[in-house]
Amino acid sequence: MANWIKITLILSMLVFWNCSTMSSIPEVNKTIVIEYKLIDYNGILHFYTDDLKPTVKTIQYCRVHYTWEDIQPRWMPDKLAEPSNYAYSYIVKKNKR
C-alpha cells in the first residue's frame, strides 16, 4: 500500500512539475497607436490618428467623439495670449456625410 502512495505521489509531482515549467504565455501582438491631441477654438479636446497640417482643411475621425469631423484652420487672434498675437486656431465641426 505504501508503494502505491509513493508511486502516485511521484507521478503527480512529475505532471505538475512539467505543467508549471512549460511556457504557456501566449504572444500578444501590440500595435502602437499614435494619437494627436487638438484643442479647438472653443476649448474642446479631440484626438486624431493623423497629424494635422496647420494650413489645410481636413476630415478626420475623432477618437473622443466617435465621429468624422471637419477641421478648419484659421489665422486669428489667440484667445490665451495678448490681443496682438495671432496663431492658427482650429474650428471643428461634425462632418455631414
The predicted structure's pLDDT at residue 93? 94
List Cβ neighbours of 50 (8 Å cut-off, separation of 6 or more): 36, 58, 60
Give percent of the chain above pLDDT 70.
82
The predicted structure's pLDDT at residue 37? 92
pLDDT of 8 > 90? The answer is no
Round to whole Å and give the CA distance between 38 and 34. Answer: 13
Round to whole Å and give the CA distance between 81 and 89. Answer: 12
pLDDT of 61 > 90? The answer is yes
Using alpha carbons only, what angle is made at residue 73 by residues 68 and 77, rounded to the nearest 5 degrees?
135
DSSP string covering 45-73: EEEESSPPPTTS-EEEEETTTTEEEEEEE
pLDDT tens, 68-93? 999 999 988 877 677 778 888 899 99
pLDDT of 10 > 80? The answer is no
Split at pLDDT 50, 70, 90, the class of 58 is very high
Helix (H, G, I), strand (E, B) or coil at 57: coil
The predicted structure's pLDDT at residue 46? 94
